[in-house]
């Protein structure tokens, strides 16, 4: 994954995504980075919806762009088979927050 890409906002070393997206499974010290990313993004969405925070929406959109970029790059490099392997560890909540963002912004 390319972590210099605008929108990487995460409390852990990018290594956790590198290992997962290379098909090696969860990193030994951190197992579900997309779960944490989902929770951060859901909190930003709530800040925008309930408190009117434009900054929260800006950060959320950048994080969504980063997520889109990383998923596309993973599929481009390893195909659907690699992405399905990632989904053995990570599945679920990201769809929810990304769908809600799309409903809100159309992007």
d(CA 27, CA 101): 28
d(CA 47, CA 103): 16
Instruction: Measure Cα distances from 99 to 12, 18, 38, 64, 92 in Å.
Output: 25, 25, 12, 10, 12
pLDDT at 45: 98
In terms of pLDDT, which residue wins out, 85 or 6? Answer: 85
d(CA 64, CA 49): 16
Average pLDDT rounded to a whole number, residues 30-51 = 92
pLDDT at 104: 95
pLDDT at 86: 83
């Amino acid at each position: 994954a390319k972590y210099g890409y605008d929108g990487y906002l995460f409390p852990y070393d990018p290594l956790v995504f590198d290992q997962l997206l290379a098909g090696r499974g969860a990193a030994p010290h951190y197992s579900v980075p997309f779960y944490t990313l989902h929770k951060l993004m859901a909190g930003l969405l709530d800040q925008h919806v309930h408190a009117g925070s434009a900054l929260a929406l800006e950060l959320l959109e950048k994080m969504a762009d980063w997520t889109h970029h990383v998923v596309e790059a993973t599929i481009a490099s390893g195909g659907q088979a690699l992405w399905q392997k990632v989904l053995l560890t990570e599945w679920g909540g990201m769809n929810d927050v990304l769908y809600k963002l799309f409903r809100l912004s159309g992007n």
